[in-house]
Amino acid sequence: MKNKFQIILVLLFCTLSWSQVKFETELSKNKLGVNENLRVDFKMNQDGDNFSPPSFNGFNIVGGPNQSVSNSWINGKRTFSKTYSYFLSPVKRGRFTIGQASIEIDGDVYKTSPVDIQVVEAVDSSASPNNSESLVDDDIQLVTEVSKRSPYLNEPISIVYKLFFSPEINVRNLGEIDSPEFKNFWSQKIDVPRLEIKRSSLNGKSYNYVTWKKTLLYPQKDGRLEINPMTLDVSIDVPTNRRDFFGNIIYTQTSSKVSSDKQIINVKTLPDENRPEDFAGAVGDFDISLSSNKTELKATESFQLELKVAGTGNLKLFSLPEIIVPSSLEKYDPEFKENVKIGLSGMNGNISNTYTIVPQFQGKYPIPIVKFSYFNPSSKKYVTIYSDEEIIDVYDGPIVSNENEKNVDQKINIPTNSLQFNFIDLKSDFNNIITTSSLIDRFRYYLIAIPIIIIILVLIYLRFVKDSISSDEKKSKLSRKLADSFLEIAKNDINNTDLFYISLEKALFNFLKSRFDFQTSEFSKDNIKVKLSDKNIDGHIIESLIEILQSCEYARYTPSSPKEMKADYEKAVEIIYNIEKS
């Protein structure tokens, strides 16, 4: 009886153990590179039907589902296992979640728990787990060519990505799934018109290759800078051991992810020795010129003075020096122009500021020499150059008065009269005049004078207010005209991120400078906040202005989409309108 009871307990325990369903998700790894593949297994300890996988957001399915069943007896105990396997390829970096899979067992629906996965930048090993179609590393490689690995700050370097592949395989399609961000670099993509297959050798082996991407970089920070790998998704035709009826090799199509190596750039800082005080960050080889469209004119006319810097170097990354003119010449804010070509060797061309100047008086006015300093990385020295002096002759107009000039006394002939010195008659026939006056008669002069004085004061005040409004309107029109001209330039450059944001920033700065008498040295975000607050500009408008200026700064280092650029343009127009309205 006792033995029977023990057997019943064992059978009951086995039944309970068998009846507990397990349905779990197992991963080959929880963290992988964007160039690696991931194996996902959905395991259950009882057979079921109607299996439903998750959506696998953030991944492409490159293999599966593969089904396997294991059924064994060990020491009289049955072990059952059924597995659905998938092979996944990530489409980008980030954190993703493998959702819930479901299965129906004995009429009940069971679900797995979600599992988090982190996809990081490409790693050295790109082998896909349990993927029989993985390529040999030597068959396809993404090579990075860097023109210089130890440049000076703001010295150009180029980086070219080339895909090398064996002549035995055919490349069908290429897709970029992970791009380097080029942090701490000013970057400009160089267009590759078309993918042209060329032949070359790599490590002593013959390869075909295509040039995928070219980029020009200007380091904006000294020290050790890293460029993350690039990862491409490549669709290729791989030869098999089979042949068709005519003896031609049969190819099979597959896909693979290939990544470049991480690049290290050691940026040298510019030397402190012999650094000129006026050095503003220009690096390259430049010339400077100062020219006027007129050398003789009337005081009522205007002329244009152009300051131009031309050559090869970081032309988009420094500001031109300021032109100083005599006080008798009224100088307006400059119009900035650039004619810069960008290639793998760097920037070349010219940038210029054109000033409109109006003379006030007659005279000969010298335009002082303009000084410009830059660092030449070839000679490793600072160079200072100077413009030519210009003489402006104003031949017609008012003359400057000389306050020290003395008036010359003039002699006046006074005619004499024979009766001039006769004695005064002391006896007269004058009679007293008796007058009677009322209170109104006594104050009638005051009653007449006081209203006249009040009217004159009111007229003077109204004239002052009118002149102030007129002056403010003229100032507003001038500032709005300058802003509109730069906004129009920005609108024309909306397909070029760098030119667009430079013009947009110029529009806002020139508007503020003309409208609120900003000095160039005051263009900082804190000064803008203080000065606009003093002018009773709404705080929300000021914050929007600061945000758009920050967008202009960030655009030098991070790319922007056409949608973001259009939004920034409309926001800048709205800010200028709201400030004028305030």
As assigned by CATH, the class of the 284-396 domain is: mainly beta
The predicted structure's pLDDT at residue 419:
46
- Over residues 163-186, the mean pLDDT reads 87
Q: Are 52 and 101 in contact (CB under 8 A)?
A: yes
CATH superfamily of 16-120: Immunoglobulins (2.60.40.10)
How does DSSP assign 65-77, residue by residue? EEEEEEEEEETTE
pLDDT in tens, 460-498: 888 877 666 655 565 556 556 656 666 777 677 677 776
How does DSSP assign 426-460, residue by residue? ------PPP----HHHHHHHHHHHHHHHHHHHHHH
Tell me the pLDDT band of 60, cut-offs 50, 70 and 90: confident
Tokens linked to 88: 């996944």
pLDDT in tens, 358-386: 998 888 899 989 999 999 999 999 999 99
**Where are the CATH 1.20.120 domain residues in the chain?**
470-581
Lowest mean pLDDT among 270-284, 313-327, 546-560: 546-560
Mean pLDDT, all residues of the chain: 80
Instruction: Return the sign of the alpha-carbon dihedral for residues 282, 284, 285, 287.
Output: negative
The residues, any chain, with a CB within 8 Å of residue 399's CB and separated by 6 or more, are: 361, 362
Tell me the pLDDT band of 425, cut-offs 50, 70 and 90: low
Residue 528: DSSP 8-state: H
| Strands (E) located in 316-428 | 329-331, 335-343, 346-359, 363-367, 371-376, 381-386, 390-396
**Where are the CATH 2.60.40.740 domain residues in the chain?**
284-396
Q: In the block, which residue shows the tokens 């395989």?
A: 169
- Over residues 153-163, the mean pLDDT reads 95
Output the CATH code of domain 470-581: 1.20.120
The residues, any chain, with a CB within 8 Å of residue 309's CB and separated by 6 or more, are: 282, 286, 287, 288, 315, 320, 350, 351, 352, 372
Q: In the block, which residue shows the tokens 């070509």?
A: 341
Q: Which CATH number fits domain 137-267: 3.40.50, 2.30.30, 2.60.40, 1.25.10?
A: 2.60.40
118 vs 421: which has the higher pLDDT: 118
List the one residue out of 233, 192, 199 whose CA is nearest residue 213.
192
Q: Are 157 and 190 in contact (CB under 8 A)?
A: no
**Where are the CATH 2.60.40.10 domain residues in the chain?**
16-120
Measure the CA–CA gap between 515 and 448, rounded to whole angstroms: 45
Sheet-wide strand order for 231-243: 170-178, 231-243, 249-259
The predicted structure's pLDDT at residue 410:
40
pLDDT in tens, 519-548: 666 667 777 888 788 878 888 888 888 888
- Over residues 143-170, the mean pLDDT reads 92
